A and B are shown apart, each in its own frame.
Chain A
Amino acid sequence: METNKRTFIDVIWRLIMFLCALSVIFPLLWIVLESLKTNKEFFANVWALPDKLMFENYKKAWDSYHLGSTLLNTLYYVGTSLALGTFLTALSAYVLTRLEFRGRKFIWGTIMLSLFLPGINALVPQYILMRDLGLTNSLTGLIILDSFGESVFFLMLLGGFMQSLPKEMEESAYIDGASLFQVFTRIILPLSTPGIVTVAIFKFLGLYNAFLGPFIYLSDSSKYTIGVAMYHANQIMQYKADWVTLFAGVTIAMIPTIIIYVFFQKQIAEGATLGGLKG
């Protein structure tokens, strides 16, 4: 490639790139900044820095939006679905990519069908089904809905990974008398860890950020996950005009994903390019 001579035009490019980055970061920082003011300061001047950092807002948001129990609900929903869903996905990927059996092609075919299903038309029948099964207004019901299923994106990601593992280790384990489940847990799972981590990160983001499912299925406020709780907090705020507390709540809501992003941004960017245009 050419040596990049720095010219006047570079100043403009760098400025544009800087402004784009600023437009991403600035609104987020604005929310964090306002969350540390009093309502009075916020109404008086959006730009001014707070006299004193109002960490009380966070305590108030925590109490008035019941964030303690909300985050416990979220932890239960996300944690269980993540563990169960990732384990089941790994099992499915293993069976579908490394075992030969009759009907495998047929099963793959039916799973590939889901690529053509936009999902939006199934919202109503799925709700009726969940209602008939007594799984609405229940975090456990939501976990069942989100954990038991097949995702082409995850199966391809993990399946591709598992296919590249050498067959020899498995075979020697069989000769030693290991069962299939032992081979799966002791050989396949440890060797597929990077793939499983990527799947788990994407599942985490999808579950934590999920809004529509919890919004449709959870009706008791004691069962809300963080997204639904913030939605209702915003509805109530329109009458109470307690902005700074809501800002604090939104800040709390975005902290977990930002932490995950900071730690796993490489896997996230790679996974996005892998599956983004397929799923």
Chain B
Amino acid sequence: MAQIGASVPATPKKVSTLSKRKVQTTIFILLALGPSYCGYLLFTLYPNILSAYYSLLEWNGITDPKFVWFDNYKYLFQDEYVWRALGHNLILMVTVPILTIIPSIFLAYLLNVKGYKESPLYKVIYFLPNVLAVIVIALMWSFIYDGSNGLLNAILNLFGIDNNDFYWLGSKKTAIWALLPPLIWGGVGFYVVIFMNAMKSIPPSLYEAAILDGASHMTRLRKITIPLINPIVRISTLFLVLGVFKGFEIMLIMTNGGPAGSTEVIGLYMFNMAFGKSSHNYGYASAIGMFLFVVLVIAKLLIDRLSSKDHAEF
């Protein structure tokens, strides 16, 4: 972008101090913006463009790449592991947003409307998991799920349920469901804060009128609060869906897709295809990446349309 900044023409009429000022400004802009902007072009935009090209290669990163046109994509649509992984994504994309958003709305309403003296403290506590590292969250939940020493089985034992040290992440039936709590635990507090702010912008006069009419809390929540924060709820839901679609760090740390691939999500499948211990198939991994890219960009465009409409409503 150097030439754009540098080509500012000095108008002939201006005195020389002014044109000197212009030169100085140009140099400053180049030096100030240059490093980070070039870094952005090099480390963000360029790899994104390159990934489209890589997806047409058969390449392990060491030998010479072979150009195979759309073979990777053809293989992708026949690859049963891709579909299995997408199925797991689908389960999480339906459950995680619902189980995050509903408690968040409920807790935000309670925190906002019921001024209990402990409420401010709760707001701080609910948000706490959002500042924790993903490694801390993932390891903590691995400990909770452990068979003989885990917290979950210990709690069940307190209630007289003895499940023979069942290892929650070790069974194909339970492992994918066991991923829900860490994903939800890490996210609810964030949306509590988001929804609390949204609820604060609702004019109190609306509630006052409803209270005069004798509306209960439930009615007010259903008839006033939720409709008015609905745009933000919708956007939040879509962001959660997209986040779950491309996220895989929790799975990478807790199960690495196991047992027997029962927690493998599409992002993790792609990651292991590129960086896993056994295979380095950069071409195919890029094709999966491009597939995700297309789905996510379409979804993002959809969100933008929705959210711009929502601003008109407010």
Q: Inside 8 A of B50's CB, which chain A residues have their CB? A: 122, 125, 128-129
Given contacts A106-B4, A121-B48, A212-B249, contact A27 B194 (CB under 8 A): no
Asked whether B292 lies within 8 Å of A111 as measured between CB atoms, the reply is no
- B side interface size, CB within 8 A: 102
Q: A25-B125, A47-B154, A211-B135 are in contact. Are A17 and B110 (CB under 8 A)?
A: yes
Q: Looking at A89, A184, A216, A257, which has the most chain B CB atoms within 10 Å of its CB?
A: A257
- Please, which residue of chain A has its CB at the minimum distance from the CB of B284? A124
14 contacts between A and B (CB under 8 A): A17-B122, A24-B125, A24-B189, A31-B140, A113-B45, A114-B44, A120-B289, A124-B285, A125-B46, A125-B54, A127-B274, A179-B24, A277-B236, A277-B239
Q: Residue B66 at the A interface, CB < 8 A?
A: no
Q: Given known contacts A148-B36, A149-B43, is B54 in contact with A124 (CB within 8 Å)?
A: yes
Number of residues of chain A lying within 8 A (CB) of chain B? 93
Q: Specify which of B113, B143, B185, B282 is in contact with A24 (CB 8 Å cutoff).
A: B185
Q: How far is the CB of B285 from chain A (nearest CB, A)?
A: 5
**8 Å CB interface, B99-148 against A:** 103, 107, 110-111, 113-116, 118-119, 121-136, 139-144, 148
Q: Is B166 an interface residue (CB 8 A)?
A: no
B75, CB-defined interface residue at 8 Å:
no
Let me know if A272 is at the binding interface, CB within 8 A: yes
- B44 near A149: Cβ-Cβ < 8 Å: yes
B4 contacts A276, C-beta separation under 8 Å: no
Residues in B whose Cβ lies below 8 Å from that of A180: 24-25, 28
Interface stretch (choices B77-85, B89-97, B203-211): B203-211
B289 A1 Cβ-Cβ under 8 A: no
Among B32, B41, B123, B275, max chain A CB count under 10 A is at B32
Which chain A residues in 26-79 approach chain B with CB under 8 Å?
27-28, 30-31, 42-43, 46-47
Cβ-defined contact, A46 with B8, below 8 A: no
In the complex the two chains form, is B5's CB within 8 Å of A101's CB?
yes
Instruction: Provide the residues of chain A in CB contact with B275, threshold 8 Å.
Output: 127, 216
The chain B residue sitting closest to A262, CB to CB, is B124
Tell me if B40 counts as interface (CB < 8 A to partner A). yes
A102 contacts B8, C-beta separation under 8 Å: yes
Known contacts: A113-B45, A129-B43, A269-B193. The answer to whether A21 contacts B140 by CB under 8 A is: no
Q: Restricting to A97-151, which residues have a CB under 8 Å from any CB of B? A: 99, 101-103, 106-107, 110-111, 113-129, 131, 144-145, 147-150
| Given A27-B144, A272-B193, A89 and B135 contact (CB-CB distance below 8 Å) | no
Contacts of B297 in A (CB 8 A): 116, 118
- Tell me the residues in window 272-309 of chain B with beta carbons closer than 8 Å to chain A beta carbons: 274-275, 282, 285-286, 289-290, 292-293, 296-297, 300-301
Q: Are the CB atoms of B37 and A150 closer together than 8 Å?
A: yes
- Evaluate contact between B249 and A211: CB separation under 8 angstroms: yes
Taking the nearest CB of chain A, how far is it from the CB of B73, in angstroms?
13
Closest beta carbon of chain B to A36's beta carbon, Å: 15
Judged by a CB distance under 8 angstroms, whether B29 is at the interface is yes
Q: In the complex the two chains form, is A205's CB within 8 Å of B289's CB?
A: no
Please determine whether A272 and B293 come into contact, CB atoms closer than 8 angstroms.
no
- In the bound assembly, the distance between CA atoms of A110 and B297 in angstroms comes to 16
| Given A92-B37, A150-B40, A118-B292 contact (CB < 8 Å) | yes
- Chain B contacts for A250, CB-based, 8 A: 136, 139-140
* Chain A interface, >50% SS class: helix
Contact of B194 among A47, A144, A208, A277 (CB under 8 A): A277
Whether, in the assembled complex, B267 has its beta carbon less than 8 Å from a beta carbon of chain A, the answer is yes
Q: Is A265 an interface residue (CB 8 A)?
A: yes
Chain B residues near A261: list those with CB within 8 A: 128, 131
Contact between chains at A129 and B194 (CB < 8 Å) = no
CA distance A144 to B40 in the complex (A): 11
Q: Which residues of A contact B131 (CB under 8 A)?
A: 205, 209, 257-258, 260-261, 268
For the complex formed, measure the closest distance between the CB of A249 and the CB atoms of chain B, giving whole angstroms. 9
How many Å lie between the Cα of A56 and that of B25 in the bound state?
A: 59
Which residues of chain B in 153-209 are interfacial with respect to chain A, using CB atoms and an 8 Å cutoff?
154, 158, 185, 188-190, 193-194, 197, 204, 207-208
Interface membership of chain B positions 43-74, coded 1 if the CB is closer than 8 angstroms to chain A and 0 otherwise: 11111101100100000010000000000000
CB < 8 Å: which of A24, A103, A226 contacts B126? A24
CA distance A23 to B144 in the complex (A): 12
CB-CB under 8 A from B274, the residues of chain A are 123-124, 127
Of A21, A42, A179, chain B has the most CB atoms within 10 Å of the CB of: A21
Question: Distance in Å from the Cβ of B144 to the closest Cβ of chain A?
Answer: 6
15 more A-B residue pairs beyond the given contacts A21-B126, A129-B46, A227-B134, with a C-beta to C-beta distance below 8 A: A1-B113, A1-B204, A18-B118, A24-B129, A24-B185, A30-B151, A120-B292, A147-B39, A149-B40, A226-B135, A253-B133, A258-B132, A269-B127, A272-B194, A277-B235
A234: Cβ under 8 A from any B Cβ: yes
Let me know if A95 is at the binding interface, CB within 8 A.
yes
Q: Would you call B219 an interface residue if the criterion is a C-beta within 8 Å of the partner chain's C-beta atoms?
A: no
Judged by a CB distance under 8 angstroms, whether A8 is at the interface is no
Decide if B289 touches A122 in the complex (CB within 8 Å): yes
The one of B1, B45, B128, B289 in contact with A103, judged by C-beta atoms closer than 8 angstroms, is B1
